[in-house]
């Protein structure tokens, strides 16, 4: 099982603020049967640059790895595989931004893209639509459920784009949205799921419970098949030729 979206690397963004919390979060993933976790710290182009971001991400990851080597998960199993990536906040000119490829999920051309929360314009959608043709990178739009109240026409245009969409676990877990989440998953709109975990209280590691809700509605077979598809997509967009 893959958690495609999380903020557990210590001290790099508004996610985990300590190695101990990062280890607790990793332990929760282990106990929930999640074996691959994508580390996707926030990237804001207006206050960061790819080089600095990658250096800080590497430092945070290396510090955490030392402790992962010293301890084992509480269930006696293995720590999840960690794939380094980022969550890039949309900005005007993103499709022409140099260094965007360095922010992709490592070894792939998949770019986790966070859309703005302000009201969308058709120009924004147009810019997302050309990211692939101009950069060769494939956007994965983060937590699509957060944008469903944007202007209807633009949401439709956005969902019609030939990109991938990710949803957060809470979309499946909250009673007011769960039915819609399952419907969007069943229709094939949502391809990736993630906890978007930042800590262990307000924004916890909760993909396991969400997968149980999905299994209950659509069957374990569905979860297994979509998981395989997620790994296939990561493989398909792999840029690791050697
Ligand atoms: Fe996030």
Q: What is the mean pLDDT of residues 208-222?
A: 98
- Whole-angstrom Cα distance, residue 164 to residue 23? 30
Distances (CA, A) of 29 to 42, 188, 209: 20, 25, 11
What is the whole-number distance in angstroms between the Cα of residue 194 and the centre of ligand 1? 9
What average pLDDT does the segment 38-62 reach?
98
Ligand 1 centroid to residue 5 C-alpha, Å: 6
Is this model's pTM higher than 0.75 or not? yes
Q: How far is the centre of ligand 1, averaged over its atoms, from the C-alpha of 203 (Å)?
A: 10
SS (H, E, C) 86-110: CEEECCCCHHHCCCHHHHCCCCECE
pLDDT in tens, 87-114: 999 999 999 999 999 999 999 999 999 9
pLDDT in tens, 117-138: 999 999 999 999 999 999 999 9
pLDDT of residue 239: 86
> Does the structure show a pLDDT above 70 at 202?
yes
- Domains of the chain, first to last: 2-236 (3.20.20.140)
């Amino acid at each position: 099982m893959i958690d495609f979206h999380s903020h557990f690397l210590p001290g790099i963004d508004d996610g985990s603020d300590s190695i101990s919390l990062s280890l607790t979060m990793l332990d929760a993933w282990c106990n929930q049967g999640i074996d691959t976790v994508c580390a996707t710290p926030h990237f804001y182009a207006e206050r960061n640059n790819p080089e600095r971001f990658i250096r800080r991400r590497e430092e945070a990851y290396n510090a955490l790895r030392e402790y992962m080597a010293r301890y084992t998960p509480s269930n006696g199993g293995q720590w999840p595989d960690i794939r380094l990536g980022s969550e890039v906040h949309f900005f005007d000119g993103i499709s022409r931004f140099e260094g965007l490829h360095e922010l992709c999920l490592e070894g792939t051309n998949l770019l986790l893209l966070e859309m703005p929360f302000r009201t969308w314009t058709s120009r924004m959608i147009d810019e997302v639509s050309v990211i692939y043709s101009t950069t060769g990178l494939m956007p994965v739009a983060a937590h699509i459920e957060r944008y469903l109240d944007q202007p209807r026409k633009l949401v439709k245009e956005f969902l019609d784009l030939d990109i991938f969409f990710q949803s957060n676990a809470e979309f499946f877990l909250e009673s007011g949205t769960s039915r819609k989440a399952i419907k969007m998953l069943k229709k094939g709109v949502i391809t990736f799921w993630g906890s978007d975990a930042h800590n262990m209280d307000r924004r916890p590691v909760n993909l396991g419970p969400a997968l149980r809700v999905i299994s209950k509605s659509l069957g374990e077979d569905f979860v297994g098949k979509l998981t395989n598809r997620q790994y296939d997509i990561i493989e398909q967009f792999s840029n690791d030729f050697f």
